[in-house]
Structure 1
Amino acid sequence: MNATPVHDHRRLGRALDLFDTDPLMGAGLPYWLPDGAAVRHALEEYVHEVERRAGYRHVYSPVLGKRELYEISGHQDHYSDDMFPPMDVGGEQLVLRPSLCPHHALIYRSRPHSYRELPLRLAELGGMYRSERSGVLGGLTRVRAIQLNDAHIFCALDQVADEAGAALELIRRAHADLGIRAARYRLSLPGEGGKYVADPAMWRRAAALLTEALDASGVPYEAAGGEAAFYGPKIDVQVVDRAGRESTLSTVQVDLHQPRRFDLSYVGPDGSRHRPVMVHRAVIGSVERAVAHLIEEHGGAFPAWLAPVQVAVLPLSAAELPPAEALVRRCVDRGLRAALADPAQGTLGARVRAARHAPYQAVIGPREAGADLVALRLRDGRRPAPLPAAEALARIAAVVAGRGGALWADA
């Protein structure tokens, strides 16, 4: 029997009070504890800002839709085994959505569009639901309630390759900021059987567009049959966990199917109606799977900007409690996540060990309290010379704002 890996996110996430489960909530439905919620919120803010700077417009859409919506999209015919059963409400059948794309198609369809608006990039970090079998559920990697970092780019056919390439670049940049290493890029193509929309010409055209984007990006990739979405091929960015298990984290997809099903259009320069292409993309995929991978990749020692507690403040004794509490408030005012390690919780050594995952430990002794200084201990073992509290917090805030992997920069 194999031993549980040291950095198994299921064990470490619970030990670090990031998430947990309860039988009354149900299998595959984890809840986030305060420290885990802080990591998740920082990740969501990061993705939102990265997308905003890349020209995306953010929307919100409901997690329910009428069954008819998913019949039009094709989910009911090709994806029903992974969907929860319809609910009878007021004479209608409502479904917990298995995907955000039908909702975004309706948002696009709700207003007329000109070629001058394209590409139109709509993004949402929204909930969706998958009826996963109990046997495959585990931790945060396979869940039934998913928060997906999703986006749909509505564009002209001659814009598809550029938009897919830009999405790949966005994914590479985010992975660098998060400390994620892609194991491989996969061009996921259809296989045999009725799972896939039957339109060979559509598949060939969509696959050619993704191949063009991959070739232009210069990343090595391999093709794999039977891994496509039911409506189109996709680029899957694969990662490997500490146990050697591979999974998909980020995706780029070309969809010629749903624009036709929803009769989407834009007015071209010739004044006539044209059909847009939908490019689906997820920079970090589901928040749950992304956090699971980050827990294992960093062993709980997250980059400073993601850490649930960025500054642990440790007064030497009860006499230093007032200035230590004041320092925590100053950290919060600077936008930093800080926590007080009260002397009542144990010796300084015990508190230092308990706060070992915090990027910064601020020790406040009599000297520091009397001169408004901070003696910092960095997570990597370095101990910069004591600094005025304002300067120490400014330098920490600058590192956090830079969202890099370094803990300290010399002045």
Structure 2
Amino acid sequence: MNQQDAAPDHRDLNRHLDIFTTDPEVGAGLPLWLPNGSAIRDELERLARDIAQADGCQGVHSPVLAKRSLFERSGHWGKFADDMFPPMRVGGDELVLRPANCPHHALIYAASRHSYRQLPIRYNELAPMFRAERTGVLSGLGRVRQINLDDTHVFCRPDQVAAEAARALRSALRAQEILGLRVDYVRLSRRDASPAFLGETEQWQHAEQSLREAAHAVDLPSHGLDLIEVEGEAAFYGPKLDLQVRNGHDDTIATVQLDFNQPGRFDLTYDAADGSRQPVLMIHRGTVGSMERVVAALLERHQGRLPLWLAPVQACVMPVGPAQDSAARELVDALTAAGLRPRLEPEGSLGARIRASRQRRDSVMAVLGATDADRHQVQVTDIRSGFDGPVSRDRFVEALRSSHRDRTPIVNWPRPQAS
């Protein structure tokens, strides 16, 4: 058994970390995010927005409800009705909680006419989707009935597919690298002979080749990854590039999917150079993934001690005694003003406070004694890096601020200069 397999379950870690809770009045598979969990989610959403913006995506917002007829048109009702919540009758309409964002994004694209010169167009939304999971399969944050997904849909010309798929794959790999989550291989998920896959054979062959070209452009071996082709694993509407992890079974943690089904169902087109209207291609891309599954994976991968930029408590500030309370509060105020998440712990014995901070997996501990307050420094313990020693207050704040901003660990803590 390797270290990953031996990692504690995120539900066990949650008992000390207070990430989420559940309540029978809310229902199974519908976790309530506590302040610590909300802090992690906020950081993940910030990462997702940064990646989307860097890739030229435009933010959109769409409702979680739609008429049943929308999902009949998209094909979701015919394929996934058993996994969707039943319709709610409101007036003369049947409204359904959406299982995916793509039909809404298709309608946003269709709201305007687009020239070939405007493509590609990329819509990004981090929004909830709903799956009517059976009670017996629900599990912590790993399997829930509402998922909040970092979701982008790209509308492009056929000649842009390979480049757009490569862009999406690079971003997905970069996101996993920043998060510290491993990827074992990339799977090219292809169709087989089953009639469940929609579209013409030639169309599928061209799409699969475009994804091969995308994987080649990314140079997977330089990331230590292989491209493995598997028949029968495609979505019903097109082939995919899936980032896979082996955990006793294979899990998909991010994906790039081609879709020539929904553009046809929604009559999505662009004005070509010759003046004709041509069908657009749609790419579904996920980079960070669903907030629930990513947080569960992060807790287990890091055994609860998250990187500083993700940690709910980035600095636990502990005055040794009442005489250092003022200096401790000044430090907490400075950290807060720098956009950080400090926690002031003045009560109880210092040993008990340190033990509690370790159990909570606070990122850094900062203790202020009489000498530290006089010298405007703090005694820092950073368990992830192994550092334990004095750091000037201003440099301490700046080190944490830089680590948070850049999403990088503090490798060399700056020690106070000798007087």
After TM superposition, the score normalised by the length of structure 1 is: 0.93
More displaced stretch, 178-187 vs 363-372: 363-372
Residues 200 and 84 (structure 1), Cα distance of their counterparts in 2 relative to 1, 3 Å cut: farther
User: Quick one: structure 1 residues 350 and 191, their matched pair in 2 at CA, closer, same or farther if it must change by over 3 Å?
Assistant: farther
Corresponding residue to 2:245 among 239, 249, 258: 239
Q: Distance in 2 between matches of 1:234 and 1:24?
A: 39
Aligned equivalents of 1:157, 1:194: Cα separation in 2 = 24
Deviation of the 1:372 alpha carbon:
2.5
Per mean C-alpha deviation after superposition, the further-off stretch among 12-21 and 63-72 is: 12-21
CA contact (8 A) 1:28 1:142 kept: yes
Is contact 1:100–1:150 with CA below 8 Å preserved after alignment?
A: yes
SS at match of 1:207: helix
Tell me the alpha carbon deviations over residues 66-101 of structure 1, each in whole angstroms, 9 at most, x when there is no partner. 111111111111121211111111110111000000
- Paired residues of 2:29 and 2:139 also in contact (CA < 8 A): yes
Alignment of 1:29-40 (within 5 A): 29-40=30-41
Offset, 1:206: 2.3
Distance 1:194 1:29, change over 3 A: farther
Q: Give the corresponding residue for 1:350.
A: 352
- Shift of the 214–375 alpha-carbon distance from structure 1 to 2, 3 Å rule, reads same
- Is residue 399–residue 408 contact of structure 1 (8 Å, CA) maintained in 2? no
For 1:216 and 1:91, the matched residues in 2 are separated by 51
Query: 1:303-325 CA distances to partner (integer Å, 9 max, x unpaired)?
Result: 11111110110111233222212
SS of the residue corresponding to residue 317 of structure 2 reads strand
Pair 1:322 & 2:326 matched: yes
Q: Could you tell me which residue of structure 2 aligns to residue 14 of structure 1?
A: 15
Deviations 1:99-150 (A, max 9, x none): 0000000000001111111111110001100111222211111111010100
Give the corresponding residue for 1:227: 233
| Cα offset, 1:5, TM superposition | 4.9
**Aligned partner of 2:388: which letter?**
R
Aligned to 1:81: 82
Give the match for residue 63 of structure 2.
62
Distance 1:374 1:87 in 2: 58
SS in 1 for 2:388: coil
After the TM superposition, list the runs of 4 or more consecutive aligned residues in structure 1 that deviate by more than 3 angstroms: 190-196, 198-202, 405-411
* TM superposition shift of 1:226: 3.2
Q: What SS does structure 2 have at the residue aligned with 1:383?
A: strand
Aligned to 1:385: 390
What SS does structure 1 have at the residue aligned with 2:85? Answer: coil
* 1:183-222 Cα distance to aligned partner (Å, 9 max, x none): 2211222356564336434333322222221233232122
Query: 9-18 vs 123-132, which deviates more?
Result: 9-18
Gapped runs of 5+ residues in structure 2? Answer: 221-225
Quick check: 1:85–1:95 contact (8 Å CA) kept in 2? yes
Match of 1:251 in 2: 255
- When residues 351 and 21 of structure 1 are mapped into structure 2, their CA distance, relative to the original with a 3 A threshold, is same
Q: Is the 8 A contact 1:318 1:343 kept in 2?
A: no
Question: Which of 61-70 and 21-30 deviates more?
Answer: 21-30
Residues 56-65 or 12-21, more deviating: 12-21
Asked if 1 retains the 8 angstrom alpha-carbon contact of 2:65 and 2:97, the reply is yes
**Contact 1:20 1:32 (8 Å CA) reproduced:** yes
SS in 2 for 1:46: helix
Q: How does 1:353-364 map to 2 (within 5 A)?
A: 353-356=355-358, 357-364=361-368
AA paired with 1:250? A
SS, match of residue 117 in structure 1 = coil
1:276 equivalenced with 2:280 (yes/no): yes
Q: CA deviation at 1:343?
A: 2.5
TM-score (ref. length: structure 2):
0.92
Task: Give the distance between the partners of 2:270 and 2:118, measured in 1 at CA.
Answer: 9
Deviation track 1:342-370 (CA, whole Å, cap 9, x = no partner) reads 233xx222222221222221111111223
Number of matched pairs: 403
Match of 2:271 in 1: 267
Counterpart Cα distance in 1 of 2:195 and 2:313: 49
Task: Give the equivalent residue in structure 1 for 2:223.
Answer: none
| 2:300 counterpart of 1:299 | no
**Contact 1:38 / 1:308 at 8 angstroms: preserved in 2?**
yes
